[in-house]
Amino acid sequence: MNKEAYQFSYEVYDSVSELNDQDAWLVNEAREVTELAYAPYSNFNVGAVAQLANGEIVVGTNQENAAYPVGLCAERVLLSSTATLFPNIAIDTMAISYNNMNGESKHPISPCGMCRQSLAEYEHRVKQPIRLLLSGMEGKVFIIKKSNSLLPLSFGSVDLK
């Protein structure tokens, strides 16, 4: 038997004010874009903003539906828009924030499992890691250098061959 371990590191900043100007701008834009979310059932608005390798900015928000499985997360809305508007252009950095209308939004949250799979697939597709900035409406900010770090032992195209 072999025993293996998986670990990754990430940076933790106490607030957006500690970030460089571009990262701070992306986080603040993600916080602002939460206002565009359609989340009448959960009251949990999520916004995502990405800077692409070509300098373009793309945004996405969560879109809920009364038939819960039909809703979309902000990250997947952003990935779909990016793939359609800018085919095969890499995402350099994606900022994700949320506004919990029923409580506090003071700590970073991480993408759900389905979004982690989608982020890993996009990274594979464009052959470049996606750097993530995770935050709430205030408080700490996490920086993760490669989104696929969030999905160890992921399923991918190589598994279909």
Q: Mind telling me the catalytic residues?
A: 75
Backbone angles phi, psi at 80, to 5 degrees: -65, -45
Cβ atoms of 102 and 43 within 8 Å: the answer is yes
Write out 92-160 in H/E/C secondary structure: EEEEEEEEECCCCCCCCCCCCHHHHHHHHHHHHHHCCCCEEEEECCCCCEEEECCHHHHCCCCCCHHHH
Tell me how far CA of residue 53 lies from CA of 57, 60, 86, 91, in angstroms: 10, 17, 10, 6
| Partners of 109 in beta bridges | none
Cβ atoms of 50 and 81 within 8 Å: the answer is no
